[in-house]
Amino acid sequence: MRPPDHAARHTGPMHTHTSSSGPVLVVEDERPLAQIVADYLAKAGYDAIQVHTGPDGVSAARDHDPDLVVLDLGLPGLDGVEVCREIRTFSDCYIIMVTARDDEIDKLIGLGVGADDYLTKPFSLRELVARVQAALRRPRASRLAVAPDADHGWAFDGLTVDTATREVTRAGVPVALTRTEFDILAALAEHPRRAFSRQQIVDMVWGEGWGGDAHIVDVHVAHLRRKIDDDPATPRYVDTVRGVGYRFIAEPVREAAE
- The residues of the shown chain that bind Ca ion, judged by CB under 5 A, are 29, 72, 74
Residue 52 or residue 131: which is nearer to Ca ion going by CB?
52
Q: How far apart are CA 1 and CA 241, in angstroms?
A: 48
Q: Residue 94 CB, nearest distance to Ca ion (Å)? A: 20
Sequence-separated (6 or more) residues with CB below 8 Å from residue 2? none
Q: Residue 203 CB, nearest distance to Ca ion (Å)? A: 31
Burial of 125 (C-beta count, 10 Å sphere; 0-12/13-18/19+): middle
- Residue of closest CB approach to Ca ion: 74
Residue 100 or residue 111: which is nearer to Ca ion going by CB?
100
Residue in 202, 197, 210, 195 with CA at minimum distance from that of residue 249: 195
Burial of 212 (C-beta count, 10 Å sphere; 0-12/13-18/19+): middle
Residue 79 or residue 213: which is nearer to Ca ion going by CB?
79
Four-residue CA torsion sign, 91, 92, 93, 97: positive
Alpha helices in 44-190, H assignment, sequence order: 54-64, 80-88, 102-111, 125-136, 179-189
Residue 28 or residue 229: which is nearer to Ca ion going by CB?
28
User: CB–CB of 245/200 below 8 Å?
Assistant: yes
Q: Residue 8 CB, nearest distance to Ca ion (Å)? A: 18
Residue 53 or residue 180: which is nearer to Ca ion going by CB?
53
Q: Residue 25 CB, nearest distance to Ca ion (Å)? A: 15
Q: Residue 75 CB, nearest distance to Ca ion (Å)? A: 6
